């Protein structure tokens, strides 16, 4: 029997009824009989579409508040029967089983239900669909003869094929089957995630499934010869570059997205108005200030050479005053991410020469919420999974370990520098002055190299600055370099076997040093 078998009967049972009436009406116009249940049958009847009651067809009533409706051999036999198998066809004839060539099913809204504040366990359990996934899997398994629809977006292609030739093409059925199995897989994973989070064991699961939906394909990846796409986490409500609204400019590149993600991560870590400048996924300028425009200027002045062609992140709405700073002569910015942009700022950024055709503007909304509680890094053959390094600093654990204490005037810079160093690739050294980033040493194999690079980047601004290190100093040589540059305080985790030597070097140069007891490696 040909795979292109005419569609004569459809089973429709949907929680999401978007577009369902028009689709069903189109099926009826093509001579398709519709079998349906419960709320779906009533919905179609209310719109003048006649259906056959599944209970009437099976001779078995719905029961248990609708928990048992379609779980019957006359339904599953009609879906699973192989149209080229004599035994299957004889069984269907012997048991008066009608063939069902189209299954239109979507599932109870489990994820939407458990996302509601205060939802009870009983409510969540009642939204675990049993019959729906079974119908979808049966139809997808038998896609050689049966078409399965699981989303309203699929209806038009299915109806177009039926209108043209009375059946769907094998290529469409194969694609729909693949999408159906993806849906049931994601649905089961959402349920598993809910029960695991409810158990609250705090342990990493024995099996980890990462659920992602493709948002868009990119022009290319890190390099032009690499294909790339961006994916989003379903129903993730936290502000992110993936969920941001693209309000101006060209398509984002792979590297733009990486840099904007880093810019947003730093911006959200400050309570005061903050501006962040990212270049090659490291901060080359960051500042906080009472006014966003002042923070913007300080951030861009942190490393003006590196800031050219950078991306920026803000934790406040970009106003016209900050926009005027951005478009000053000699500046070029690839992309900007912020909670919002004032209309005047958008006008400035999108109409000034050299800006209107280049800068991308991303509106991300409220950004106080951290975007992830888990960090996953894929490796060849596996992955590393850890808790995200987004906990606030525990200031109560900090202690000054030198004879000379920290003056009150330096504490703002010490807090700023320590917050910044967690966002820099290790070995990480940052220099902060007046709550602005003035020097960065990142990604070096030797910590003393990072210190020297940060000091060189800061130039004259190193004098009077605070130095933060993401991990302990193994030797006092970095302290000698810091003292020579005029650095006035140091904050680091501590924990080296040579801590005493490092502390002694600070005491010798009258540099106060704070141990945090925590480190922030970022490999």
Whether 72 and 193 share a structural domain: yes
Using CA atoms, how far apart are residues 410 and 418, in angstroms rounded to an integer? 12
Number of domains into which the chain is organized: 3
Percent of the chain having pLDDT more than 90?
53
Whether 351 and 405 share a structural domain: no
What are the tokens at 352? 């000034």
Q: Residue 53 in contact with residue 37, Cβ under 8 Å?
A: yes
Whether 264 and 171 share a structural domain: no
pLDDT band at 3 (very low <50, low <70, confident <90, very high): low
Give the helix ranges, DSSP H, for 30-169: 38-46, 54-58, 73-80, 86-94, 110-114, 121-126, 131-141, 155-165
Residue 217 located in a structural domain = no
Using CA atoms, how far apart are residues 471 and 429, in angstroms rounded to an integer? 9
Whether 18 and 67 share a structural domain: yes
Whether 157 and 52 share a structural domain: yes
Using CA atoms, how far apart are residues 100 and 523, in angstroms rounded to an integer? 55
Using CA atoms, how far apart are residues 336 and 146, in angstroms rounded to an integer? 49
CATH of the domain at 474: 3.40.140.20
What are the tokens at 278? 């990212």
Whether 97 and 25 share a structural domain: yes
Whether 331 and 410 share a structural domain: no
Q: 162, 183, 199: which is the final residue of a domain? A: 199
Largest distance between two CA atoms of the chain: 98
Predicted structure pTM score: 0.76
> 513-515 and 489-492: which strand pairing?
parallel
Backbone angles phi, psi at 148, to 5 degrees: -120, 130
Confidence at residue 456, expressed as pLDDT on a 0 to 100 scale: 95
Whether 121 and 251 share a structural domain: no
CATH of the domain at 17: 3.40.50.1380
Whether 157 and 105 share a structural domain: yes
Give the mean model confidence (pLDDT) for residues 502-509: 95
Residue 382 located in a structural domain = no
pLDDT band at 483 (very low <50, low <70, confident <90, very high): very high
Kind plus residue range of the DSSP H or E element containing 436: strand 436-441
Whether 194 and 252 share a structural domain: no
List the catalytic residue out of 141, 246, 248, 522.
Answer: 141
Q: 175, 199, 223: which is the final residue of a domain? A: 199
Closest CA to 306 of 282, 287, 329: 282
Give the mean model confidence (pLDDT) for residues 187-192: 82
Residue 240 located in a structural domain = no
Residue 387 located in a structural domain = no
pLDDT band at 76 (very low <50, low <70, confident <90, very high): confident
- Residue numbers of the domain that contains 298: 245-363
What are the tokens at 91? 């069984």
Q: Residue 250 in contact with residue 360, Cβ under 8 Å?
A: yes
DSSP single-letter state for residue 242: T
- List, for residues 345-379, the tens digit of each pLDDT value: 999 999 887 777 789 999 998 886 565 677 888 89
List the catalytic residue out of 17, 248, 280, 522.
Answer: 280
- List, for residues 282-322, the tens digit of each pLDDT value: 999 999 999 999 999 999 999 999 999 999 999 999 999 99
Residue 243 pLDDT greater than 80, yes or no: yes
Confidence at residue 1, expressed as pLDDT on a 0 to 100 scale: 47
Residue 4 located in a structural domain = no
Q: 170, 199, 228: which is the final residue of a domain? A: 199
* Close Cβ partners of 131 (under 8 Å, ≥ 6 residues apart): 13, 68, 69, 70, 71
Using CA atoms, how far apart are residues 225 and 321, in angstroms rounded to an integer? 41
Residue 162 located in a structural domain = yes
Judge whether 280 counts as a catalytic residue.
yes
Whether 108 and 160 share a structural domain: yes
Whether 411 and 499 share a structural domain: yes
Using CA atoms, how far apart are residues 58 and 38, in angstroms rounded to an integer? 14
Give the mean model confidence (pLDDT) for residues 187-204: 74
């Amino acid at each position: 029997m040909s795979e292109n078998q005419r569609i004569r009967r459809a089973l429709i049972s949907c929680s999401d009824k978007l577009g369902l009436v028009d689709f069903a009406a189109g099926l009826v116009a093509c001579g398709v009989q519709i079998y349906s249940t419960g709320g779906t049958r009533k919905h179609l009847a209310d719109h003048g579409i006649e259906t056959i009651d599944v209970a009437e067809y099976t001779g078995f009533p719905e029961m248990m508040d609708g928990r048992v409706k379609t779980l019957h051999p006359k339904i599953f036999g009609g879906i699973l029967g192989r149209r080229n198998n004599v035994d299957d066809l004889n069984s269907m004839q012997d048991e008066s089983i009608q063939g069902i060539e189209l299954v239109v099913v979507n599932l109870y809204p489990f994820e939407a239900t458990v996302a509601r504040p205060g939802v009870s366990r009983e409510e969540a359990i009642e939204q675990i669909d049993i019959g729906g996934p079974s119908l979808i899997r049966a139809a997808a398994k038998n896609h050689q003869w049966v078409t399965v629809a699981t989303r309203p977006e699929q209806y038009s292609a299915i109806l177009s094929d039926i209108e043209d030739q009375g059946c769907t093409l094998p290529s469409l059925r194969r694609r729909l089957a693949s999408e159906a199995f993806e849906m049931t897989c994601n649905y089961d994973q959402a349920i598993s995630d809910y029960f695991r989070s409810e158990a609250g064991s705090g342990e990493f699961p024995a099996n980890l499934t990462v659920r992602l939906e493709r948002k868009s394909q990119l022009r290319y990846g890190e390099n032009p010869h690499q294909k790339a796409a961006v994916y989003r986490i379903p129903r993730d409500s936290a502000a992110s570059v993936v969920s941001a609204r693209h309000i101006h400019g060209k398509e984002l590149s792979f590297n733009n997205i990486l840099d904007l993600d880093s810019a947003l991560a730093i911006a959200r870590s400050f309570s005061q108005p903050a501006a962040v400048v990212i270049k090659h996924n490291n901060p080359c300028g960051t500042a906080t200030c009472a006014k966003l425009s002042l923070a913007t200027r300080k951030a861009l002045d942190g490393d003006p050479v590196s800031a050219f062609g950078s991306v920026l992140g803000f934790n406040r709405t970009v106003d016209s005053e900050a926009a005027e700073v951005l478009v000053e002569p000699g500046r070029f910015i690839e992309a900007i991410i912020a909670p919002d942009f004032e209309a005047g700022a958008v006008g400035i950024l999108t109409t000034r020469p050299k800006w209107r055709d280049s800068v991308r503007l991303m509106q991300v909304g409220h950004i106080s919420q951290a975007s992830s509680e888990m960090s996953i890094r894929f490796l060849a053959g596996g992955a590393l999974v850890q808790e995200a390094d987004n906990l606030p600093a525990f200031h109560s654990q900090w202690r000054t370990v030198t004879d000379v204490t920290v003056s009150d005037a330096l504490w703002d810079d010490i807090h700023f520098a320590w917050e910044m160093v967690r966002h820099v690739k290790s070995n990480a050294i940052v220099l902060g002055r007046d709550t602005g980033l003035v020097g960065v040493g990142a990604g070096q194999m030797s910590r003393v190299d990072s210190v020297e690079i940060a000091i060189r980047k800061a130039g004259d601004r190193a004098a009077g600055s605070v130095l933060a290190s993401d991990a302990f100093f193994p030797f006092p040589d970095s302290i000698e370099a810091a003292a020579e540059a005029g650095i006035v305080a140091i904050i680091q985790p501590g924990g080296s076997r040579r801590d005493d030597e490092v502390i002694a070097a600070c005491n010798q140069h009258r540099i106060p040093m704070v141990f945090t007891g925590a480190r922030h490696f970022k490999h």
